[in-house]
Amino acid sequence: MSDAGVIHDIGYQRYEGPRLGRSAVFGAIYQHGLRASFGLGRSAKAKIFPWLVAGIVLLVAVINAAVKAQANIILFDYFSFDDTMSWLVIFFVAIVAPELVSRDMRSGVLPLYFSRPLRAFDYIGAKFVALATAVFLLLGVPQLIMFLGGAFTTDDGAKGVWNEFLDLLPGWGYSLLWAVVFASISLLIASVTGKRAFAAGGIVAFFLMTAPVVGVLSILPSSTAQHLAGLASPMSLLVGVQAWLRGRNDLDLDVGDFGVIYGIEAFCLVFAALLLLLARYRKVASL
């Protein structure tokens, strides 16, 4: 054969170093997502809204710790703190979730992502874990402040600190539950549209419109309907799971004997949201 068909080597240097695999890509997206959640590495404008929310939540925790230390009045315990902050958590995921997924769709960089050794599962998993971590930090750090406030003012020495710590651990678990549920649902809604503004509006509208449904169902003249009312909204669903796991009946929501159903629905909700996200990105990835 002649030399006509030869592709000439014009001297570009080949990359000979180690090639990082899927796990490195996962780690990079996760780290970048977590930093982007709080606007780190972005301009000052991108920091305003996340830190506004974080500031309010921290302020409430500090006030709570101070009031408890000075006047021994307990405004919130670790669990009701999460419930009271629910609107701020909604606002936070409405800020962050579109930032994580809608931006990539809007600027059309998804084909670049998926030209790497990266599956749809990795991309979604990394974004989901990043958002869940951010929400957990949003709730968990203030809870830690409340714990420190309680620990330094305890009267029982080390035993008091230990008891306070045993209260904190399930509180953190509850925050983790909040983080997982809110992260999965908000990412699913945000992945529908590339416009950040519409994604944010959609997330808030979804969470807020479910709350009155619970209010209506809980006044229907049927005790089963009342016990199951909390299933209609993610916020009351989490309260229901809390009531089931802690065996409490004095919360806002009476779950009766249906506590298990709350647990099952919380699990299925997260699972279904992640599966739908996966299905969504299977399609986007092939574009």
Partner 1 sequence: MSTVAYITARGLLGRRRVLLLLPLPLLLVGLALICRAYDVDPDQWGQAVVVGLGLAVMLPVISLIIGTGVLGSEVDDGTIVHILTKPLARRDIILAKLLVAAGVSAVTSAIPLFVTGVLADSVRFGLALVVGAVAGAIAYSALFLLLSLVTRRPVLLGLAYILVWEGLLGRFVSGTRVLSIEQYVITIADRIAPTGMLDGKVSVPVAIVMTVIFAIGGTIYAVNRLGSFSVAGETS
Note the residues at the interface with partner 1 (CB under 8 A).
Answer: 42-43, 45-46, 49, 52, 56, 87-88, 90-91, 94-95, 193, 195-198, 200-202, 204-205, 208-209, 211-213, 215-216, 219-221
CB nearer partner 1, residue 76 or residue 147: 76
Paired tokens of 251: 């919360």
CB nearer partner 1, residue 19 or residue 45: 45
* Shortest separation between residue 234's beta carbon and partner 1, angstroms: 15
CB nearer partner 1, residue 168 or residue 229: 229
CB nearer partner 1, residue 25 or residue 93: 93
* Shortest separation between residue 286's beta carbon and partner 1, angstroms: 21
* Shortest separation between residue 91's beta carbon and partner 1, angstroms: 5
Exposure string over 49-80, b if 16+ CB within 10 A, otherwise e: bbeebbeebeebbeebbeebeeeeeeebebbb
CB nearer partner 1, residue 68 or residue 196: 196
Residue corresponding to tokens 């420190």: 148
What distance in Å separates the CA atoms of residue 57 and residue 51, rounded to the nearest whole number?
10
Q: Which residues contact 92 (CB under 8 A, 6 or more apart)?
A: 50, 53, 54, 134, 135, 138
Q: Burial level of 88, CB count in 10 A (0-12/13-18/19+)?
A: middle
**Nearest partner of 30 among 92, 107, 89, 118, judged by Cα:** 118
* Shortest separation between residue 209's beta carbon and partner 1, angstroms: 6
* Shortest separation between residue 274's beta carbon and partner 1, angstroms: 23
